[in-house]
Structure 1
Amino acid sequence: MDASSGVMLLRPRRFGDERGWLMETWSAARAASQGIDVDFVQDNHSYSAAVGTVRGLHFQRPPHAQAKLVRCLRGAVMDYAVDVRAGSPTYGQWVSAELSAENGHQLFIPVGFAHGFVTLQPDTEIAYKCSDLYAPDCDGGLAWDDADIGIDWLLPASGPVLSDKDRALPGLAAFVSPFAYDGGPLQPLGAPV
C-alpha cells in the first residue's frame, strides 16, 4: 500500500516473559516492507487528564505537511483519520481505531489526512512521530463536530473537553484543500499488520 494514500493500523509484536514485555515501536525496514516509506523527524507526546478530551482535527499544510505514526502510552483513545485530499472519491470520509496501552496498536496517518482523537480513559498519554517539523504558519484543522464529516465521537454524557483553538476550527465546506489526491482512496481499516 502506498504510504501517501494508505491509513494503516499497525500491531507491533510484543515479546513477553515474567518481567513484562518489549515492543519495537518503529523500524524503517519493517515499515518499508508494509509500504510505509517515511522519514520521521519529530516526536510529540501529549497528556489528557479527562475522559472525553478531543484533540483535532489537525493537519499541517505543504510545504511542511506531516505524516504521523500514533500510539497510546497510557490509557486509551479512539483515533481518527479524515481524507482531505482534493479530488479524492473518499474526500471527507474517515476511519478510526482504538489505540490503547493495553493493545499496543499504532495508526499510520499519511499526508493529506486530518487527525484527531478522543480519550476513552482518564490520564491518557499518546506519542506520535511526525515526518516534518512543526511549522506554525502551516498549522491547520477542521471542526471536530462538522456534520459534513460526521464522526461518531465516543463522548461521555458530559460532552467533550476542547481547547479554544479546536472550538474555532472551520468546517469542511469552507476548506480549500492544498493536498493532492494520489489515486488511492481511503480504505476501511483491516486487521492490524
Structure 2
Amino acid sequence: MIINITELNISGCYLIESPIFSDERGEFVKTHHQEIFKNFGLEIPSAEEYYSRSKNNVIRGMHFQQYPDDHNKLVFCPEGEVLDVFLDIRKDSNTYGQFMSFILNPHNRRSIFLAKGIAHGFLSMKDNTLIVCKTSTVHSPSRDSGIHWNSFGFKWPVENPIISDKDRNLDCFF
C-alpha cells in the first residue's frame, strides 16, 4: 500500500491519494503515514482532530487561524462528498491570492494537506457529509478568523447555499 503525495501549485499544499484494500469484510484505507509524510517534509498534524457533518449545499469557510496559532491541516471526507476549496492568504507567498479546489469523497480516497496561512472551506455536495480535519495546533477562539466565502473569485457551483451567520459576516479578501 503506497500513499501517493503530489505537490500542488499552491506552495506548501499537497494532494494525498490513499490506496484501498477491499475484501469480504469491507475496506481499509490509510489516510496518513508518518515516514511517507516526513519524506515530503510535511509536519504531521496531530494536536487536534475534529469532524463536521453537513447537509447538502452547506458552505463552511473560508477559515484559518492567525499566528502564532496558525496550523497545518490534513482534510479528508470519509462519508458523502465535498468540493474542498483553499486560498493562499500569505502575503509573502509567490502564490498569494491563488485558490484551488478538489472533490473529496470516500471513493477517490483523496486528502488535502494545507500549509499554515491557507484559508480553507468546502461545499457539502450530499446530505450527511462528514469531513475530518487534523491540525498541528489546537483551536484558539481568539485567533480564529476567516475570509468571506464569495470574495476571492472562486465560482461556487451552488445557488442559495446554506451558510452560518458567522461565515456570512466574514471580511472580504479583495
Measured in 1, the distance between the counterparts of 2:167 and 2:45 equals 28
| Partner of residue 3, structure 2 | none
Distance change in 2, residues 1:40/1:27 (3 Å)? same
Q: CA deviation at 1:25?
A: 1.5
| Partner of residue 4, structure 2 | none
| Partner of residue 141, structure 1 | 146
Measured in 2, the distance between the counterparts of 1:78 and 1:97 equals 6
After TM superposition, the score normalised by the length of structure 2 is: 0.90
Distance change in 2, residues 1:13/1:119 (3 Å)? same
Q: CA deviation at 1:18?
A: 2.2
Measured in 2, the distance between the counterparts of 1:79 and 1:39 equals 18
Q: Does 1:27 align with 2:33?
A: yes
Identity of aligned residues (%): 35
Measured in 1, the distance between the counterparts of 2:34 and 2:137 equals 16
| Partner of residue 6, structure 1 | 12
After TM superposition, the score normalised by the length of structure 1 is: 0.81
Measured in 2, the distance between the counterparts of 1:8 and 1:89 equals 16
| Runs of 5+ unmatched residues, structure 1 | 174-193
| Partner of residue 152, structure 1 | 155
Write the letter of the residue equivalent to 1:91.
Answer: Y
The runs of at least 4 consecutive aligned structure 1 residues that moved more than 3 Å come to none
| Runs of 5+ unmatched residues, structure 2 | 1-6
| Partner of residue 164, structure 2 | 163
Superposed CA deviations along residues 48-67 of structure 1, whole A, max 9, x for unmatched, are: 02x11000000000110011
- Could you tell me whether the CA contact under 8 Å between 1:70 and 1:129 is conserved in 2? yes
* Aligned counterpart in structure 2 of residue 52 of structure 1, from 35, 53, 57: 57
Measured in 1, the distance between the counterparts of 2:104 and 2:27 equals 18
What CA RMSD, in Å, does the superposition of the two structures yield over aligned residues?
1.7
Secondary structure of 1:172 counterpart: coil
Measured in 2, the distance between the counterparts of 1:140 and 1:56 equals 10
Distance change in 2, residues 1:63/1:9 (3 Å)? same
Q: Which has the higher contact order (CA 8 A, sep 6+)?
A: 1
- Could you tell me whether the CA contact under 8 Å between 1:78 and 1:154 is conserved in 2? no
